[in-house]
Amino acid sequence: MSPLPLPRAKYAVNAIKKKVNDKNPHVALYALEVMESVVKNCGQTVHDEVANKQTMEELKEILKKSSSNRKKCMCPLLYPLWRQVETSVRSKILYLIQAWAHAFRNEPKYKVVQDTYQIMKVEGHVFPEFKESDAMFAAERAPDWVDAEECHRCRVQFGVVTRKHHCRACGQIFCGKCSSKYSTIPKFGIEKEVRVCEPCYEHLNKSVPFVVGFFACDSRDIEGGSREDVELAP
Ligand SMILES: [Zn+2]
Ligand SMILES: [Zn+2]
C-alpha cells in the first residue's frame, strides 16, 4: 500500500507512541496493537517513523521502566489481571521488535531495528517464539500511487462529479465505477478489504489464500476516506 503522507504518518505514530507510554498498561497494550497494525498497513512513511533509532530507544525505555512507574491498580480483584497486562506489554514490545527486525531485514535504511534486536538478545532479553507466519507484512511492497487526470481504465476525465480513486493493489488511478470492488491483498499484508480495480480484483480473488486472523485497524479509515478527499482538492 502506498504510504500515508509524511505529516500524517508522523502525527499518527506520535499519537500512538504517547498511548504506548500511558501509565495504564491496558492502554499501552492496545496502543502497541494499533502500532503493529499501522506498520503493517500504512506503508513506508510510517516505517520511517517507527523503524528508527528514536523509536527503538523509546521502546527499550518502556521495557526498562519498572512496573512501579506505572499507575498502581488498587483493586485486589483486578490487580492480578493488571500485572498480567503489564507482562503482556513487555512481551508485545519484544514481539514487535523481533517481527520488525525480520520484516525489515532486507532494508538497509532500517538496519537499526536489526541491530536493536541483536543487541537486546545479547543483553539477555527473552523474545517470544517467532513464527514466520506471524511475520506480518510481506517484504513485497505495494506500488506508489500514481496521479492522473483520467481513469486508467475507461479514460473518463476526473472532475467535481467523477472522483479519483486508487487501486491499493496496482496503485493506478480509477473512476469509482472501475474501482468499485474491495479485496484483501495478502501479499502486501493487507487483511482488511480495500479498494481495488477490476483487473486486480479478478487477479487477487482467483487464488485468495486464507486471511490470517490477526488484529488489524480499519485501514479504510486511515487510507481511504480523507486521503481521497485531500487528493480531490484542485
Ligand atoms: Zn473508469
Ligand atoms: Zn489495480
Q: pLDDT digits over 179-214, tens only?
A: 999 998 877 767 789 999 999 999 888 754 444 333
Count the neighbouring beta carbons within 10 Å of the beta carbon of residue 141.
17
- Tell me what pLDDT residue 132 has: 66
Ligand at shortest distance from the CA of 180: 1
- Tell me what pLDDT residue 217 has: 35
Which residues surround the ion ligand 1 when the cut-off is CB under 5 Å? 151, 153-154, 175, 178
- Tell me what pLDDT residue 229 has: 37
Q: 156 CA distance to ligand 1 centroid (A)? A: 6
pTM score above 0.85: no
Q: Which residues of the chain have pLDDT under 50?
A: 1, 138-139, 208-234
DSSP 222: I
| CATH 3.30.40.10 residue spans of the chain | 165-232
CATH fold for domain 165-232: Herpes Virus-1 (3.30.40)
Identify whether the C-beta of residue 103 lies closer than 8 Å to the C-beta of residue 139. yes
Q: Which of 214, 201, 234 is nearest to 41 (CA)?
A: 214
Percentage of residues in the chain with pLDDT exceeding 70? 78
Ligand at shortest distance from the CA of 162: 1
- Tell me what pLDDT residue 122 has: 95
Q: 65 CA distance to ligand 2 centroid (A)? A: 46
Q: 161 CA distance to ligand 2 centroid (A)? A: 22
Q: Which residue has the cell 486511515?
A: 222
What are the strands, taking DSSP E only, across the chain? 165-166, 173-174, 181-185, 190-196
- Tell me what pLDDT residue 150 has: 95
Q: 170 CA distance to ligand 1 centroid (A)? A: 15
DSSP 179: G
Identify whether the C-beta of residue 223 lies closer than 8 Å to the C-beta of residue 190. no
DSSP 138: -
Angle at 223 between CA 6 and CA 188, to 5 degrees: 95
Distance separating alpha carbons of residues 181 and 21, to the nearest angstrom = 39
| CATH 1.25.40.90 residue spans of the chain | 6-134
Distance separating alpha carbons of residues 186 and 160, to the nearest angstrom = 33
Distance separating alpha carbons of residues 5 and 8, to the nearest angstrom = 6
Which residues surround the ion ligand 2 when the cut-off is CB under 5 Å? 167, 169-170, 197, 200
Tell me which of 2.40.50.100, 1.25.40.90, 1.20.1440.130, 3.40.50.720 is the CATH number of domain 6-134.
Answer: 1.25.40.90
Identify whether the C-beta of residue 197 lies closer than 8 Å to the C-beta of residue 152. yes
- Tell me what pLDDT residue 80 has: 82
